Structure 1
Amino acid sequence: MSPGRRPASRRTRARVRLAALAGVAVIAAAGCSSSGSSSETAGAGFVSGSGGIDTAAAGARHDAPDIAGKTVDGTQAKLSDYRGKVVVVNVWGSWCPPCRLEAKGFEQVWKDYQGKGVQFLGINTRDTSARNAEVFEKSFGITYPSLYDPDGAQILRFPKGTLNPQAIPSTLVIDRQGRVAARALKPLAAEDLEAMLKPVLAETP
């Protein structure tokens, strides 16, 4: 065997480890979990962008369900309370690494836009204790409300075949009339979230 050459078995094991790591990276990039495919919305008047963000023209939008209930901090929140504002709905879990990656960016966009006719509303899901969600919010400085939805009941109120949340994390932008205007089934950087939000905010009330 030539000096500096590793045995074939060691090289093979190294390649296997690299392949496994690449697979983990792909899964993380795709989100923590998925319950469907954006192909469900094909032909329904929605446009899939190259960045994994689906949008709907005003005439092709579906009403968002009036999700409501107890929040992570024990108060109450209801989507219809924000009618007349553009609402960003983010589905997240404290156990979800991509949710942690996007959390600070979401809080920054919330701070930048909350005085401009925008409201944020989270849906915390699959956390067995609201305490876990509270710790997450405190760790990342999240100040907007999130519904505590451990069994996913609020998420399932969005009809299939619409721009419904199908992964964790998912993000929806609801227009001023309470209709779903855009959806992302992946973690978003702050600039991606803004790019998703701005066109809906610019629409004539």
Structure 2
Amino acid sequence: DGPLGGLRQYPGEGLLPTSLYPAVPPCPAEAAHLAALDALEGVSVIGINVEDDAGTAQAFERGFGITYPSIDDADGRAVAALQGLVAINAVPTALILDAEGYVAARTVGRVEPSTLKALVDSAQADA
């Protein structure tokens, strides 16, 4: 199934895989907003740790109260798998997947919470 095979456990949900690197200022700034989106019914956020070792990533998650699942992508396999869907050239990058698993939108850099919510709502409405 590869590193993203676990995404199949969220059938019918709007998925928001997002690449994270705590040393990049937008990532800590967006942490609480992503957690709030994950708490919504029908939305699942999945973090992809693209740079840090597992211990550093877990400390970041604890520090910001992140409870959504994260993929340790130190070997780059998860991002490589997503490259087949859409280019991921910067951190943070968020993909909004519709209920069928298609990329409905992509954001790069810091994004306002209202914008992410609107993109998720649009993806769910179009499904």
| TM-score, normalised with respect to structure 2 | 0.89
Within 1, Cα distance between the matches of 2:31 and 2:80? 23
Rg comparison, structure with higher value: 1
**Match for residue 85 of structure 1 among 13, 17, 20:** 13
Specify the SS of the correspondent of 1:135.
helix
1:201/1:66 CA distance change after superposition, 3 Å: farther
Q: CA offset at residue 67 of structure 1? A: 3.9
1:25-44 CA-partner distances (Å, limit 9, x unpaired) = xxxxxxxxxxxxxxxxxxxx
Other-structure match for 2:117: 194
- RMSD, aligned α-carbons: 1.9
1:152 maps to 2:67: no
CA contact (8 A) 2:21 2:51 kept: yes
1:73-124 CA-partner distances (Å, limit 9, x unpaired) = xxxx71111122110111001222210111111112222x1x2x22111111
**Match for residue 119 of structure 1 among 44, 64, 84:** 44
- Kindly provide the amino acid, as one letter, of the partner of residue 136 in structure 1: F
- Kindly provide the amino acid, as one letter, of the partner of residue 102 in structure 1: E
1:130 maps to 2:54: yes
Other-structure match for 1:94: 22
1:132/1:92 CA distance change after superposition, 3 Å: same
CA contact (8 A) 2:27 2:92 kept: yes
- Kindly provide the amino acid, as one letter, of the partner of residue 82 in structure 1: Y
Specify the SS of the correspondent of 2:126.
coil
Other-structure match for 1:141: 65
Q: CA offset at residue 66 of structure 1? A: 6.2
Aligned length in residues: 127
Specify the SS of the correspondent of 1:156.
helix
Percent identity, aligned pairs only?
A: 31
Other-structure match for 1:172: 95
Within 1, Cα distance between the matches of 2:76 and 2:94? 15
Instruction: List gaps (5 residues or longer) in structure 1.
Output: 1-64, 69-76
